[in-house]
Amino acid sequence: MEWQYSADTVPSSLVTDAQARSLLGKPPVTGAWRDGDPVGRRRFTDIGALDLEAGGRLPAVRIAYETWGELSPAGDNAVLVVHALTGDSHVAGPSEPGHPTAGWWSGIVGPGLAIDTDRWFVVAPNMLGGCQGSTGPASLAPDGSEWGPRFPYLTIRDQVAAQVAFSDRIGVASWAAIIGGSMGGMHVLEWGIDHPDRVARLGILAAPPVTTADQIALNSVQVEAIRTDPLFRGGDYYDADAGDGPSRGLALARRMALLNYRSPSELNLRFERGWQSDITPLGGHGRFAVESYLDFHGNKFTRRFDANSYITLVEAMNSHDVGRGRGGVDAALALVTARTLVVGIDSDRLFPLDGQRAIAAGLGGVPVVIESGYGHDGFLIEYEAVGRQLRRLLEG
């Protein structure tokens, strides 16, 4: 199989000198976007206070977002794209000041592409609790200090409530489509169930109807990796000097996550037992290529993410259960009226096909299964196959 590589998936054996140099020096205390940083292509909207499902309250919420295309006079061509756990609003576009990485779906969103910005008005917000401009733990609380560990517990439904208020503020009464993968797909499901009158089409990619015990267990060890970093300081690390934040714990959490995002066959075929040293593996020195790959991406991640935000978003993902308080999964899915596309990746070991089959069955159909060696990340990488299905959804 011939593997495709994007800027964010390049293996260590293909890392350029420029990429390696970008990780030299001390890591920042947080990779969050902060007020005063280059804005890039972001826009900002304040949605006011938000009461939370578990009983907490955020007194003021800001949503950072990006747009492509133009809203039609009738307002009937708006498409909401919702990112996954570690994504952000930068769906398409180059790496530039304000955006440390290129758009995460540049092969899907753009002129003439599957989500054609010559036809559709595409909006991508950074989700509530994120760290790239929207209100989250790295944002300033009313007392002028970062929220940090004081940031309230969020659920997927809280994040969707923020997206609903955001939609109102930017003047979108209904969406022609709402599309998202992984954690974003959880948001799409909640939109279709709770706000059926506000969306015509749903695109749910590589997402489950509930977060299972196995998935919660995988998430728990990532959270613990961050919390046990002595430089985490209980979440109060923002005043530390560069290099004195919980970068090791956050990088380790990212390494763990990557093992769930990619497939065993990809790692085995890409790296085999490649060695990055003249000393033999039996000598106990040097590193296997796959170890360096994980290291590179763990360290890179600390330059663009925040440890507290990672915990907040993972815990929100753990809350996901569309059947909670609705009589079960099937009863919840029966509330969906939108035309719906459900896509699964055959090699996904994070959110296996059982989840997509359950969603599709509850909607009276079957999922589209994409064959890919990339595992869960296939929905981000298989542009042609994913794009073909999204075109079908949007043209129908």
Active site residues: 182, 348, 376
Q: Give me the phi and psi of 222, to 5 degrees please.
A: -70, -45
Please name the helix (run of DSSP H) or strand (run of DSSP E) that holds residue 201, with its range, or none.
Answer: strand 201-205
Q: Please list the alpha-helical segments (H only) found in the chain.
A: 17-21, 156-169, 183-194, 213-227, 247-261, 264-271, 289-301, 307-318, 329-333, 353-362, 378-381, 383-395
Q: Please, what's the largest Cα pairwise distance for the chain?
A: 69
The DSSP output letter for 116 is E
Cα 10 to Cα 109, 188, 256, 307: the distances in Å are 21, 29, 17, 23
Q: Give me the phi and psi of 269, to 5 degrees please.
A: -75, -35
3-class secondary structure, 275: strand
In whole angstroms, what is the distance from residue 208 CA to residue 181 CA?
Answer: 10
Angle (CA) 245-100-228 rounded to 5° is 25
Beta bridge partners of 288: 275
How many helices (H) does the chain have, and how many strands (E)?
A: 12, 10
Closest residue by Cα to residue 58 from 132, 136, 127, 130: 136
Question: Which residue in this structure is represented by tokens 């000393």?
Answer: 279
Residue 341 tokens read as 């596309």
Contact between residue 123 and residue 67 where contact means Cβ atoms under 8 Å apart: yes
Neighbours of 338 (CB within 10 A): 22
Residues with Cβ within 8 Å of residue 322, at least 6 apart in sequence: 189, 190, 193, 209, 210, 329, 332, 333
In whole angstroms, what is the distance from residue 322 CA to residue 191 CA?
Answer: 11
Beta bridge partners of 64: 44
Region of residue 48 (phi > 0: left; psi between -120 and 50: alpha; otherwise: beta): left
